[in-house]
């Protein structure tokens, strides 16, 4: 019996071939060769591990990784690798995903635990200390395919085939940089791809837009006079709620006849004792009429209801920022709004221009002044607003969960081919 | 289970056992995995530049003074030790005397260089702080400009509304055009 490349598949020949790999490429490559053959011969289902150092937090990147797992569970025997304990209930509560059939393996990282760090921030790791993520690297060598869904390029992949899901290249190559050691790099937007090129010096292999599923009840629901913003209240103010509230208050004061009856509602999550949020509350405290409302840590049902009722959506994350990391890398909430026929008026930067086609299904604006101009024009033209809302809904289909799952399966179909290909002997 | 399957299982168990004994990733892979990276300073963002200066300045502040010391020559041999040390020290003292003259020159240069490095580092820090203050002032000005732009946009919109209303009035049958 022979493999495609002609290598012997008899017991005696195998030992010799593996021995040769052991001498030339080390023990991990030899183990990988055996694992590859097990899969190629159909002796078992391929194994896949998905790692994220932040699975214990709710977040868009984590939803991305877990939805991917849900799409791939028929193709692989999957294990979730986490650093902190996390129950399946959270996955269901946060992302509406039933992953109870997938085992979760918790690998503690003593470096962070000893410091009682809530965030396992790779930026804290320098060359002066031993890489705490090497524990994950070692674990990666137990699976046929290793997927790193973290914003963490400090995990060296030992599996035969490895995939780095890059949500944004936060750091430039420095100590323990291994992003270029992965067999495949998948990114979440063209904006991220551009910055992978600029910061890391290579191009990702595939683009997989995040899954968005926020449809709350069709597009024929009558809209109310609501402008919605849905994004976290970051303590650093990255999401620019202060600028949006300032602009809307000015609009109410200077053009009350134009915006009579309109409300600006800002929904989003916040940690307790957030000084930025306190500042926003102070900003709107003295305003008569309550034309601005803050809705903090709303439930998924409340958020859906807001999307259903809102007519316009504002998102200015990135305006007046120089650091590319402080701009939206994709913009999931903009898609959520569009899925509910809410017309997006969003900042013309980051990943947002990939979602909104200017003048076709929303508007891309460069400043709060432009935001006000476009908003006033739409408020004065309900027919145009409705038409744009329908176009926005249509465009949002591109980013649906089913599209995500189809593309994910295509990408991992290629990964499977690589796994059984005789040419693939990674690492080595 | 066929012969091949049994062989794979046997070899895998053997290798897994050996793997468990190896803790160093480099040994698992049979090669070096870490590399040095020099950041492209001219491409760094303000935040990245601040981090870079924070990490780099302590490095260039360092200074090492090197000079050979014959006292470092010792021996553990009981009887032969003392004459051997004496001979070695005597021999090296002659060499060191000549070497010391050159090393004194080098050390003087190193001291000057280190002083210069510290001054450059201080200059960098000062420029960075001043740049930060300028950036703050620029940010405040940009916010003012953004406010004026908003006012302008609202006034323009109001004017358009008034013009439209005037046009409407001008075209009506009850009122003559103005």
Per residue in A321-378, pLDDT tens?
888 888 999 999 999 999 999 999 999 999 999 999 999 999 999 999 999 999 999 9
Question: CA–CA separation, A339 vs A219, rounded Å?
Answer: 8
pLDDT at position A35 over 90: yes
Q: Are residues A303 and A336 in the same domain?
A: yes
Lowest mean pLDDT among A105-109, A410-414, B2-6: B2-6
- Scanning every residue of chain A, which has its alpha carbon at the shortest distance from the alpha carbon of B18? A27
Q: In what order do the strands lie in the sheet with A226-230?
A: A292-296, A263-268, A226-230, A312-315, A343-347, A363-365
So what's the pLDDT on residue A7?
45
Is A127 part of any domain? yes
Question: CA–CA separation, B77 vs A171, rounded Å?
Answer: 56
Tens of pLDDT, residues A38-86 = 999 999 999 999 999 999 888 889 999 999 999 999 999 999 999 998 8
For residue A322, the chain B residues in CB contact (below 8 A) are 45-46
Question: CA–CA separation, A411 vs A416, rounded Å?
Answer: 9
Is A22 part of any domain? no
- Scanning every residue of chain A, which has its alpha carbon at the shortest distance from the alpha carbon of B49? A323
Higher per-residue pLDDT: A1 or A417:
A417
Distance from CA of B106 to the nearest CA of A (A): 29
pLDDT at position A428 over 60: no
Lowest mean pLDDT among A81-95, A96-110, A225-239, B70-84: B70-84
Question: CA–CA separation, A187 vs A190, rounded Å?
Answer: 8
Q: Are residues A114 and A233 in the same domain?
A: no
Q: Are residues A115 and A149 in the same domain?
A: yes
Query: Going by DSSP bridges, is the β-strand pair A77-82/A226-230 parallel, antiparallel, or unpaired?
Result: unpaired
CB pairs under 8 A between A and B: 129
What is the mean pLDDT of the segment spanning B131-148?
93
Q: What rounded mean pLDDT belongs to chain B?
A: 85
User: For residue B26, how far is the Cα from the chain centroid?
Assistant: 25
Distance from CA of B84 to the nearest CA of A (A): 41
pLDDT band at B173 (very low <50, low <70, confident <90, very high): very low
Q: Are residues A205 and A255 in the same domain?
A: no
Structural contact between residues A245 and A208, judged by C-beta atoms closer than 8 angstroms = no
So what's the pLDDT on residue A350?
96
User: For residue A408, how far is the Cα from the chain centroid?
Assistant: 14
Q: Are residues A231 and A189 in the same domain?
A: no
For residue B27, the chain A residues in CB contact (below 8 A) are 26-27
- Scanning every residue of chain A, which has its alpha carbon at the shortest distance from the alpha carbon of B135? A322
Is A306 part of any domain? yes
Is A218 part of any domain? no
Q: Cβ separation of B146 and A243 shorter than 8 Å?
A: yes
Q: A69 Cβ partners below 8 Å, 6+ apart?
A: A50, A78, A80, A99, A102
So what's the pLDDT on residue A425?
57
For residue B136, the chain A residues in CB contact (below 8 A) are none
So what's the pLDDT on residue A76?
97
Q: Cβ separation of A177 and B142 shorter than 8 Å?
A: no
Tens of pLDDT, residues A151-164 = 899 999 999 999 99
For residue B155, the chain A residues in CB contact (below 8 A) are 254
Mutate to test the interface with B, among A16, A30, A41, A47 (most CBs of B within 10 A): A30
Mutate to test the interface with B, among A22, A376, A428 (most CBs of B within 10 A): A376
Largest alpha-carbon pair distance within chain B? 130
pLDDT band at B51 (very low <50, low <70, confident <90, very high): confident
For residue B161, the chain A residues in CB contact (below 8 A) are 258
Distance from CA of A41 to the nearest CA of B (A): 9
Q: Cβ separation of A324 and B45 shorter than 8 Å?
A: yes
Mutate to test the interface with B, among A3, A20, A23, A28 (most CBs of B within 10 A): A28
User: Between A29, A134, A324, which is nearest B25 by CB?
Assistant: A134
- Scanning every residue of chain B, which has its alpha carbon at the shortest distance from the alpha carbon of A32? B12
Q: Name residue A428's beta-bridge partners.
A: none
Q: Are residues A407 and A369 in the same domain?
A: no
pLDDT band at A5 (very low <50, low <70, confident <90, very high): very low
Mutate to test the interface with B, among A174, A238, A319 (most CBs of B within 10 A): A174
pLDDT at position B36 over 50: yes
Distance from CA of B178 to the nearest CA of A (A): 25
Q: Name residue A374's beta-bridge partners.
A: none
Tens of pLDDT, residues A230-287 = 999 999 999 999 999 999 999 999 999 999 899 999 999 888 899 999 999 999 997 7
Largest alpha-carbon pair distance within chain A? 88
Token duo for residue A18: 């593996």
- Scanning every residue of chain B, which has its alpha carbon at the shortest distance from the alpha carbon of A137? B25
Structural contact between residues B31 and A26, judged by C-beta atoms closer than 8 angstroms = yes
Q: Cβ separation of B5 and A41 shorter than 8 Å?
A: yes
For residue B158, the chain A residues in CB contact (below 8 A) are 254-255
Q: Are residues A252 and A393 in the same domain?
A: yes
Q: Are residues A259 and A117 in the same domain?
A: no
Three-point CA angle A404, A408, A409, nearest 5°: 120
The complex scores an ipTM of 0.77
3-state secondary structure chain B: CCHHHHHHHHHHHHHHHHHHCCCCHHHHHCCCCCCCCCCCHHHCCHHHHHHHHHHHHHHHCCCCCCCCCHHHCCCCCCCCHHHHHHHHHHHHHHHHHHHHHHHHHHHHHHHHHHHHHHHHHHHHHHHHHHHHHHHHHHHHHHHHHHHHHHHHHHHHHHHHHHHHHHHHHHCCCCCCCC
For residue A22, the chain B residues in CB contact (below 8 A) are 15
Distance from CA of B4 to the nearest CA of A (A): 5
Residues above pLDDT 70, as percent of chain A? 96
Q: Are residues A264 and A175 in the same domain?
A: no
User: Between A9, A175, A250, which is nearest B154 by CB?
Assistant: A250
Q: Sort A285 into a burial class: Cβ within 10 Å, 0-12 / 13-18 / 19+.
A: exposed
Q: What rounded mean pLDDT belongs to chain A?
A: 91
pLDDT at position B58 over 90: no
- Scanning every residue of chain B, which has its alpha carbon at the shortest distance from the alpha carbon of A426? B29
Question: CA–CA separation, B76 vs B74, rounded Å?
Answer: 7
Number of domains in chain A: 2
- Scanning every residue of chain B, which has its alpha carbon at the shortest distance from the alpha carbon of A133? B25
Structural contact between residues A164 and A186, judged by C-beta atoms closer than 8 angstroms = yes
Distance from CA of B159 to the nearest CA of A (A): 11
Distance from CA of B103 to the nearest CA of A (A): 31
Is A31 part of any domain? no
So what's the pLDDT on residue A10?
54
Is A36 part of any domain? no
DSSP 3-state helix, strand, coil percentages of chain A (rounded to 5)? Answer: 40, 15, 45
Q: Cβ separation of B7 and A14 shorter than 8 Å?
A: yes
Is A216 part of any domain? no
pLDDT at position A427 over 60: no
So what's the pLDDT on residue A263?
95
User: Between B27, B30, B153, which is nearest A373 by CB?
Assistant: B153
Domain around A148: 45-211+403-420
pLDDT at position A2 over 90: no
- Scanning every residue of chain A, which has its alpha carbon at the shortest distance from the alpha carbon of B41? A172
Lowest mean pLDDT among A100-109, A179-188, B149-158, B159-168: B159-168
So what's the pLDDT on residue A267?
95
Lowest mean pLDDT among A301-310, A329-338, B13-22, B40-49: B40-49
For residue B4, the chain A residues in CB contact (below 8 A) are 1, 9-11, 14, 41
What is the mean pLDDT of the segment spanning B82-93?
86
The domain that holds A51 is classified in CATH as: 3.40.50.2000
User: Between A29, A37, A323, which is nearest B8 by CB?
Assistant: A37
Q: Are residues A273 and A374 in the same domain?
A: yes
Structural contact between residues A302 and A295, judged by C-beta atoms closer than 8 angstroms = yes
Q: Are residues A251 and A359 in the same domain?
A: yes
Q: Cβ separation of A323 and B47 shorter than 8 Å?
A: yes
Higher per-residue pLDDT: A301 or A105:
A105
What is the mean pLDDT of the segment spanning A378-406?
96
User: Between A11, A174, A246, which is nearest B4 by CB?
Assistant: A11
pLDDT at position B64 over 80: no
So what's the pLDDT on residue A140?
96
Q: Are residues A181 and A293 in the same domain?
A: no
So what's the pLDDT on residue A419?
93
Is A24 part of any domain? no
């Amino acid at each position: 019996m022979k493999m495609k490349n002609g290598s012997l598949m008899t017991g005696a020949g195998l030992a010799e071939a593996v021995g040769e790999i052991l001498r030339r490429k080390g023990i991990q490559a030899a183990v990988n060769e055996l694992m590859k053959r097990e899969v190629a011969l159909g002796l078992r289902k391929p194994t896949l591990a998905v790692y994220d150092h932040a699975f214990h937090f709710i977040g868009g990147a984590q939803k991305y990784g877990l939805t991917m797992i849900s799409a791939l569970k028929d193709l692989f025997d999957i294990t979730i690798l986490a650093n902190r304990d996390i129950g399946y209930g959270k996955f269901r509560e946060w992302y509406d995903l039933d992953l109870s059939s997938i085992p979760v393996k918790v690998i503690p990282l003593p470096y962070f635990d000893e410091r009682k760090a809530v965030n396992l921030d790779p930026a804290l790791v320098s060359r002066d200390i031993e890489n705490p993520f090497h524990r994950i690297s070692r674990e990666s060598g137990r699976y046929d395919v290793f997927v790193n869904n973290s914003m963490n390029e400090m995990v060296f992949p030992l599996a035969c085939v490895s995939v780095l899901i890059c949500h944004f290249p936060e750091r430039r190559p420095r100590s323990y940089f291994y992003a270029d050691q992965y067999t495949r790099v998948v990114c979440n937007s063209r904006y991220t791809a551009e910055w992978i090129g600029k910061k890391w010096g290579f191009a990702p292999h595939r683009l997989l837009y995040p899954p968005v599923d926020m449809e709350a009840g069709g597009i024929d629901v009558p809209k109310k006079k609501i402008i919605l913003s849905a994004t976290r209240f970051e303590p650093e103010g990255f999401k620019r709620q202060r600028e949006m509230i300032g602009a809307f208050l000015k609009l109410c004061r200077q053009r009350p006849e134009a915006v009579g009856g309109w409300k600006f509602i800002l929904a989003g999550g916040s940690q307790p004792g957030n000084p930025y949020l306190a500042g926003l509350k102070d900003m709107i405290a003295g305003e008569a009429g309550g034309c601005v409302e803050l809705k903090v840590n709303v439930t998924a049902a409340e958020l859906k209801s807001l999307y259903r009722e809102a007519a316009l959506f504002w998102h200015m994350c990135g305006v007046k920022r120089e650091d590319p990391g402080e701009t939206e890398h994709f913009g999931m909430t903009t898609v959520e709004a569009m899925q509910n026929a809410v017309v997006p008026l969003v900042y013309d930067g980051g990943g947002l221009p990939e979602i909104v086609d200017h003048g076709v299904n929303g508007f891309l604006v460069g400043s709060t002044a432009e935001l006000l101009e476009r908003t006033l024009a739409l408020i004065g033209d309900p027919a145009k607003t409705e038409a744009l809302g329908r176009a926005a809904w249509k465009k949002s289909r591109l980013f649906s969960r089913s599209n995500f799952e189809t593309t994910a399966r295509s990408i991992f179909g290629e990964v499977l081919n690589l796994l059984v290909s005789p040419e693939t002997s990674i690492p080595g | 289970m066929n012969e091949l399957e049994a062989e794979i299982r046997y070899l895998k168990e053997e290798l897994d056992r050996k793997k468990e004994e190896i803790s160093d990733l480099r040994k698992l892979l049979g090669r070096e995995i870490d590399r040095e990276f020099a950041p492209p300073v001219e491409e760094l963002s303000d935040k990245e530049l601040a981090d870079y200066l924070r990490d780099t300045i302590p490095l260039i502040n360092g200074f090492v003074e090197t000079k050979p010391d014959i006292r470092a020559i010792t021996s553990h041999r009981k009887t032969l030790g003392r004459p051997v040390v004496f001979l070695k020290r005597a021999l090296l003292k002659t060499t060191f005397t000549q070497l010391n003259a050159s090393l004194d020159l080098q050390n003087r240069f190193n001291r000057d260089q280190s002083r210069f490095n510290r001054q450059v580092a201080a200059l960098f820090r000062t420029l960075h702080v001043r740049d930060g203050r300028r950036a703050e002032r620029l940010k405040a000005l940009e916010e003012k400009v953004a406010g004026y732009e908003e006012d302008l946009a609202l006034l323009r919109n109001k004017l358009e509304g008034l013009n439209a209303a005037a046009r409407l009035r001008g075209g009506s049958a009850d009122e003559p055009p103005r």
